[in-house]
């Protein structure tokens, strides 16, 4: 069983602030991937861009392993759009959605994508926030309590 988690954040303003992502993958209960990345800053950045960037990272890693994949994230937008339950109405994230949808198409026959509450996504939340914390970002939208988890 391949399990993946993802999260993104954009602080101290959304959109426009610096954005980052975090992702974790376990294979048969063993941690094989723990990563975070910086998306950028400015008018093309948003929390949704960061969330989709995180999904792309985790889906890319998960597809390397044979077997059933279960990906979890706390972005209802990503989960519902990738699962085809919500339509795309435009936004800064559209190019990231398109990339994510291609990746999903490559694994969807053996994968499940599920929404989870933020409280169940602490590791990825902490990974994404640590990237921004290390850049000196002052958090205003979300608590910084999970930084460094």
148 pLDDT band, cuts 50/70/90, is: very low
Distance CA 68, CA 120 (A): 21
Q: pLDDT per residue over 61-107, tens digit each?
A: 999 999 999 999 999 999 999 999 999 988 899 999 999 999 999 99
Please list, in sequence order, all residues whose beta carbon lies within 8 angstroms of the beta carbon of residue 85, skipping any fewer than 6 positions away: none
Tokens describing residue 29 = 């209960």
CB-based contacts of 32, cutoff 8 Å, min separation 6: 25, 26, 61, 65
| Domain at 2-134, CATH homologous superfamily | Ribonuclease H-like superfamily/Ribonuclease H (3.30.420.10)
DSSP 109: G
So where are the chain's domains?
A: 2-134
Q: Residue 146 to residues 73, 74, 134: CA-CA distances in angstroms?
A: 16, 15, 13
Among 36, 60, 115, smallest CA distance to 82 is for 115
pLDDT band at 144 (very low <50, low <70, confident <90, very high): low
């Amino acid at each position: 069983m391949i399990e993946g988690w993802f999260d993104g954040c954009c602080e101290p303003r959304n959109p426009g602030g610096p954005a980052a992502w975090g992702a974790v993958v376990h294979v048969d209960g063993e941690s094989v991937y723990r990563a975070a990345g910086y998306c950028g800053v400015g008018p093309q950045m948003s929390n949704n861009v960061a969330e989709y960037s995180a999904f792309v990272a985790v889906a890319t890693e998960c597809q390397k392993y044979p077997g059933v994949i279960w990906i979890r994230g706390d972005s209802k937008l990503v989960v519902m759009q990738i699962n085809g339950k919500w339509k795309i109405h435009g936004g800064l994230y559209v190019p990231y959605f398109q990339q994510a949808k291609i990746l999903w198409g490559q694994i969807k026959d053996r994968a499940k994508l599920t929404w989870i509450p933020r409280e169940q996504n602490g590791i990825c939340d902490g990974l994404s926030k640590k990237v921004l914390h290390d850049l000196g970002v002052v958090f205003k939208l979300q608590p910084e309590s999970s930084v460094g988890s």
